[in-house]
Amino acid sequence: EDLADRQAFSFSRVSAEVTAKANPWLILNDAGQGVADQSVMEWGLGKKIGDAQSYSDERGTMKTVRLAAGLSPSVFQGSLLISEASFVADFPSVSGFRMFLIDVPSGREVAVEALLRRALEDFGLDLTPASRRLAEFMAVENTYLTIFMALGGLGLLLGSMGLGIVVLRNVQERRRELAMLRAVGYSRRELQRLILAEHLFLLGAGIVSGLVSAAVAILPALAAPAVDLPVAFLVGVLLALTVS
């Protein structure tokens, strides 16, 4: 109920029953419904929205829950979320709670952490920032992204050097033509503008073709809901590339 009131977290995919409700979290009030992280559901469990997932309660009885919604990457990776009523019915001997989500105002994380550690040290409280927990979940994926970014940077460097070599070779092969233009009255600055205009087309064509291919590659990710596209960063990279 608290998650629904806060409209907490974002959902990657939901079932038709969830769409009919005001908030996806409210689906847990229906018996036999569950929520899981979409990436875990798809790649870890090999399931999709609407499939059933079985688990064993504390008496060894197999229970089945229908996966009604998939969360975007969150701190719930590796967890199957069901309603509190269903959990109490399946695990009656579990008393109290083992995990808490603490909503801390921005900039107050250190102070709140110190206060909670002092107040609850006898209970063995272990606090983990959500950013660190997400980083641990995403460690393997981030490693691949870092490798691809390094390879992309190397390709960008080679491409820039290649363009410079093409320009230099082109100018050297046209030295007689340029000398004739100088002889008939063209200034050195005018020739520089002429050569720059010719090769700006080549640069622009390369950037546009790269943008189109990159857009096609990331289109499936962009189609997912709640995607935060770093527009300012991408525009900055393009401007830096063009200037360099």
Nearest to 31 by CA among 49, 43, 13, 17: 17
pLDDT attached to residue 26: 87
pLDDT attached to residue 197: 87
pLDDT attached to residue 207: 87
Tokens describing residue 165? 């070599």
Task: Specify the long-range contacts of residues 167-173, CB closer than 8 Å, at least 24 apart.
Answer: 167/195, 167/199, 170/195, 170/199, 171/195
pLDDT attached to residue 147: 92
- 199, with CB counted inside 10 A (0-12, 13-18, 19+), is middle
229 touches 222 (CB < 8 A): yes
Side chain identity, residue 23:
N
pLDDT attached to residue 226: 56
| The model's pTM | 0.59
pLDDT attached to residue 72: 86
pLDDT attached to residue 151: 92
Tokens describing residue 82? 């069901």
Tokens describing residue 111? 């102070």
The pLDDT averaged over each successive group of 10 residues in the chain (244 residues) is 87 78 84 88 86 90 91 86 90 87 88 90 86 83 86 86 85 89 90 86 86 86 68 86 81
11: three-class secondary structure by DSSP: strand
Q: Is 96 left (phi over 0), alpha (psi -120 to 50) or beta?
A: left
Please give the Cα distance from 217 to 211 (Å, whole number).
10
Q: What is the DSSP string of 102-145?
A: ----TT-HHHHHHHHHHHTGGGT-----HHHHHHHHTHHHHHHH
pLDDT attached to residue 29: 86
Tokens describing residue 80? 């199957």
